[in-house]
Amino acid sequence: MRPKQAKWRATLLSGAAIALGLAATGVAAEEKPEGHGDSPAAQYVYSATTVGEIDVELPGRKPGDPVMTQSEFNKAATLYFERCAGCHGVLRKGATGKPLTTDITRENGFEYLRDFITYGSPAGMPNWGTSGEMTEEEIDMMARYILLEPPEPPQFGLEKMKATWQVIVPPEERPTEKMNDIAIDKLMSVTLRDAGQVALIDGDSYEIVKIFDTGYAVHISRMSASGRYLFTIGRDAKVNMIDLWMEEPSTVATIDTGLEARSVETSKFEGWEDKYAIAGTYWPPQYVIMDGDTLEPLKIKSTRGMTVDTQEYHPEPRVAAIVASHYNPEFIVNIKETGKIQLVDYSDIENLKVTEIEAERFLHDGGFDSSGRYFITAANARNKLVVIDTKEGKLVDIVDSQGMTPHPGRGANIDHPEHGPVWATSHLGDASVSLIGTDPEGHPDKAWKVVQQLWAMGGGSLFVKTHPDSDHLYVDAPLNPAAEVSGSIAVFNTADLTAEDPEYKVLPIAEWAAIAEGQPRVVQGEFNKQGDEIWFSVWNAKDKQSALVVVDDKTLELKKVIKDERLVTPTGKFNVYNTRKDVY
């Protein structure tokens, strides 16, 4: 029996005894851990202390407030940024994750919050306690922290950006041709999340070419259209520009674009290759267009505004996915909380033209269909998929994903034996994988509909992956609280999708990695350029061993385990060629 779709419902607990209960459970501030302040994560001091201007003070205590020291408050704020803000928002108004405003948290109460942080849920909330990623003391502190009003970080405008902007190697001092023998298109850019680094790994030898210091918890790596420059953006909004043509690939420019971020992209339209880069931030809610050679900030655009449904003002509409159109000189910018998609015309940034498409709230990630014309993106908290025609610059459709909290990454394009070209997304909230028809000319009756649902291992999936030369669809579930699920991958044979109830094969990736300690989570498959092998991150706690596992796509057998003490918390992986060409 396949699992049925079920809605996540929080059990409401009485918050009447918050003051007494928390006063009894208050813990003393922890001793400063060895090395604290040296790592990129530790260097994030919440709010304005990030830019060295003011200190964030513990809110004035009111009746019923939990007992919390200033030291605990600062630690909890940093921990919230590292682990929670991405889903729940800096101001805790929610999106992918549920809102954590005090009216809700106080109704649930301390014990409920503590237990939920500890054990997680199959709907995608990580089990921070039982996985060992948070201590009991940290969980106690976090439960008290989210019963207090959130502090608001400062703004981050042009003056502050320019104060962080560095051109390490000016364009005139860079090589005019490739100066190394590295097979650039075969490189994998691998995020080393908690180390604040990215590793470049050779796709043939599996050897580490170089490790770069970057921002904390790099979210994505993106390639310039020419294939020369690699751009990374950290959760702390630091952008690195890496020149892969240099004798030894090196960072040539950096900039901080805000305090928290997820997205970076470069111009790809013919005639505009490498001209501009763009970065979107979670805080402040804005995006900045930069010079493609130097990262000089040229134009900052706020995303604050009215929501598409109630048309009420939202103070924190974060910038989620950004992709570059192949049909127009435009960046396609997802604005999460307001539910708007902006087509930003970069052909004249002094007279910037922005086409604003009203879509659906809580826009998150997404990617192109196999033709590269249609951008399909998840409004995950609304369980919707939005389709944009990037050639015509308009909304095509809003589709019910028929699952809970779609989270496709960039999705996966399959030539379905019955339905023709389809695009796939998995879900955080249940085990379903939805296939959406994407061929309005060849299969008009299938277009922009969920034509089939598959059932994988369980909720907590973040990414699906395939390749034009592969016969397989891979589905991860790293946020599932069950270790046997979060450590495995489900694989469907695309030739068998015509079956009434397609079966999947389970690959025990974490077991293959032979890691003795922790609860390693297997996340984000990424194909090599040739499309004959797929790489997975075995993501463990930062003080435990992690690994990369390479699988032969034809046989589904283990091909290589990459272990190195420098591979600290590997998560996202991006093949240079596939990223540059939008192959997925």
512 sits in the region (left: phi over 0; alpha: psi -120 to 50; else beta) called alpha
The model's pLDDT over 432-480, given as tens digits with 9 standing for 90+, comes to 999 999 999 999 999 999 999 999 999 999 999 999 999 999 999 999 9
Binned at pLDDT 50, 70 and 90, residue 36 comes out as very low
Question: Is 134 in the active site?
Answer: no
Mean pLDDT over residues 386-413, rounded? Answer: 97
160-201 pLDDT tens trace: 999 999 999 999 999 999 999 999 999 999 999 999 999 999
- Cα separation, 384 vs 246, whole angstroms: 44
Residue 323 pLDDT greater than 80, yes or no: yes
Active site includes 88?
Answer: yes
Q: Give the pLDDT of residue 298.
A: 98
Tell me the pLDDT band of 123, cut-offs 50, 70 and 90.
low
Q: Indicate if the pLDDT at residue 151 is higher than 90.
A: no
Structure-token match 């902006």, residue found: 342
467 given a catalytic annotation = no
In 380-483, which ranges are E strands? Answer: 384-389, 394-400, 412-416, 420-426, 432-437, 450-455, 464-465, 472-475
User: What per-residue confidence (pLDDT) applies to 149?
Assistant: 86
User: Is the pLDDT reported for residue 584 higher than 80?
Assistant: yes
Verify whether residue 223 is a known catalytic residue.
no
* Alpha carbons 550 and 536: distance in angstroms, whole number: 6
Which residue is listed with tokens 């390749």?
467
How far is Cα 262 from Cα 364, in angstroms, rounded to an integer? 10
Q: Which of 407, 419, 427, 472 is catalytic?
A: 407
Q: Is 364 a catalytic residue?
A: yes
> Which pLDDT tens digit goes with each residue over 266-298?
999 999 999 999 999 999 999 999 999 999 999
Q: Give the model confidence (pLDDT) of 39-97 as tens digits.
A: 333 333 333 233 223 344 556 556 667 778 888 888 888 888 778 887 787 788 777 78
User: Which residue from 128, 122, 126 is spatially nearest to 7, judged by alpha carbons?
Assistant: 122
Check pLDDT > 70 for residue 550: yes
Catalytic residue among 68, 87, 142, 290: 87
The pTM of the full predicted model, rounded to 2 decimals, is 0.82
1 is catalytic: no
Least confident of 117-121, 542-546, 573-577: 117-121
Q: Is pLDDT at 27 greater than 80 in this prediction?
A: no
Active-site residue identified among 219, 314, 364, 419: 364
pLDDT at 153: 79
Question: Per-residue pLDDT averaged across 2-13, rounded?
Answer: 28
Read off the pLDDT of residues 495-518 as tens digits, 9 standing for 90 and up: 999 998 999 999 999 999 999 899
Candidate list 84, 134, 142, 241, residue with the active-site label? 84
Please count the other Cβ atoms lying within 10 Å of the Cβ belonging to residue 141: 25
Average pLDDT, the chain: 88
Residue 449 has a pLDDT of: 97
